[in-house]
Amino acid sequence: MNHTNRPGQPVMDRLFFASVNRPPDVSCMSYRLSVRGIARALPSLRRWARALSAALCMASCGAAMAASAPVAVSAPKPVNRPVAAVNASAVAAPDAAGVVDPRRAFMLREVFAQNVTRTLNVPAAEQRAYANRLQAVLGAHMLGDLSGEYVVLVDRNANVQALFIYFRAAPADAWQMIGASPVSTGLPGEYDHFITPLGVFEHTPANMDFRSEGTQNENHIRGYGKRDMRIFDLGWAQGERGWGKGGVSQMRFQMHATDPDHLESLLGMRHSKGCVRIPASLNSFIDHYGILDAEYVALVESGKSLWVLKSDRQVTPWAGRYIAVVDSARKSRPAWAPAPGSKARAKLPAGADTAD
């Protein structure tokens, strides 16, 4: 489906290198020359006008002095205009040898910073720690050599509730972070609420994604967010029940946006029924740049037409397919992952916990 002015479309579809327009120089040379000519003629004019009153003479002299002073030109206001725009196709363009440098994948860091409105400022040491957690969980699932594609990592720990996007060009490289955002994972304690499952989940067209209709439930909550947000469907998973006597049963595991008016401000705390709730701007970023669309791309290249993919999307050669969920077992909340404030909690309407 084509939605030219679709809700949630990224603010910037390209990576821009910022610059400022330099306006034409303002020259006062001709003005100054005319003033100087008048100034030279003043003595003779005064001789011709001796009959004039002293007050008129003083006024004339004062005007001439003011006119001969340098003219102050106000500085122009900066104009924010990108000079060079690099879209996804240009980022992925091969060099003279026909090789695409995988390090260009890190250029999406700037796009992430520009487009995603809810972000986390993760310290370098923490980025490395989560890179190690990512490598450990991938290794445990026989994916230890995975490289050359983006991977999404979620920490479901109650004191963190964060999503990270990582990339590395080769198996010997360390994973490096592209960006991070707050999320909400499963909150136990109520019926039909699962604890978000741990592990590595493959995003595949076998569990076809769909898009939100933006409709409200009986409690006036848009569980999947505003219209046209993409629901990343990860299929059936074994989830730990968060109600009754506990135990494990099947749950439909998805990653999706949430109600922009009531629930997005609560990201950063556990609040879902087991899915991973993400900001609308992050949903659009992952969707538009095909961060998790490796298998969708392969299907399209085979000749299939998929309505869920937008016609104006920009997919790079480093599209991935895996979402890894870990639990950092933190006992306290780090400063870089703040919890929602009391104002956000106060806006929570009745029945909001029934949303996915």
pLDDT at 281: 97
Q: Are 238 and 340 part of one and the same domain?
A: yes
Q: Are 33 and 116 part of one and the same domain?
A: no
Q: Is 201 left (phi over 0), alpha (psi -120 to 50) or beta?
A: beta
Sign of CA dihedral 288, 291, 295, 298: positive
Report the distance separating Cα 173 and Cα 162, nearest Å. 23
For residue 48, being part of any structural domain is answered with: yes
Report the distance separating Cα 176 and Cα 130, nearest Å. 9
Task: Give the closest residue to 263 by CA, choosing from 190, 183, 195.
Answer: 183
- Phi/psi for 226 (5° steps) reads -70, 165
Residue 202 burial (CB < 10 Å; 0-12/13-18/19+)?
middle
pLDDT at 117: 96
The pTM of the full predicted model, rounded to 2 decimals, is: 0.75
Q: Are 50 and 197 part of one and the same domain?
A: no
Domain boundary among 47, 68, 89: 68
pLDDT at 100: 85
Domain carrying residue 42: 29-68
Q: Are 54 and 133 part of one and the same domain?
A: no
Q: Are 313 and 210 part of one and the same domain?
A: yes
Structure tokens at 279: 């900001």
pLDDT at 187: 94
Q: Are 107 and 224 part of one and the same domain?
A: yes
Contact indicator for 281, 115 with CB cutoff of 8 Å: yes
Which residue is it, tokens 């030279």? 40
3-state secondary structure of 165: strand
Q: Are 51 and 121 part of one and the same domain?
A: no
For residue 13, being part of any structural domain is answered with: no
End-to-end CA distance of the chain: 25
> What is 224-259 written as a DSSP string?
T-STT-EEEEEEEEEEEE-STT--EEEEEEEEE---
Structure tokens at 264: 């997005």
pLDDT at 52: 39
Report the distance separating Cα 300 and Cα 293, nearest Å. 10
pLDDT at 79: 36
What is the tally of structural domains in the chain? 2
Residue 30 burial (CB < 10 Å; 0-12/13-18/19+)?
exposed
Q: In what order do the strands lie in the sheet with 322-326?
A: 176-182, 162-167, 151-155, 322-326, 199-202
Q: Are 157 and 232 part of one and the same domain?
A: yes
Those residues with Cβ within 8 angstroms of residue 101's Cβ, 6 or more apart along the chain or in another chain? 95
For residue 24, being part of any structural domain is answered with: no
Q: Are 55 and 198 part of one and the same domain?
A: no
For residue 75, being part of any structural domain is answered with: no
Q: Hey, which residues does 254 pair with through a beta bridge?
A: 233
For residue 81, being part of any structural domain is answered with: no
For residue 198, being part of any structural domain is answered with: yes
**pLDDT, tens digit only, all 356 positions of the chain:** 444 444 444 433 334 333 333 333 333 333 333 434 444 444 444 444 444 344 433 443 343 333 333 333 333 434 333 333 446 667 777 777 878 888 899 999 999 999 999 999 999 999 999 999 999 999 999 999 999 999 999 999 999 999 999 999 999 999 999 999 999 999 999 999 999 999 999 999 999 999 999 888 887 888 899 999 999 999 999 999 999 999 999 999 999 999 888 889 999 999 999 999 999 999 999 999 999 999 999 999 999 999 999 999 999 999 999 999 999 999 999 999 999 987 776 666 666 565 55
Q: CB 328: neighbour CB atoms within 10 A?
A: 16
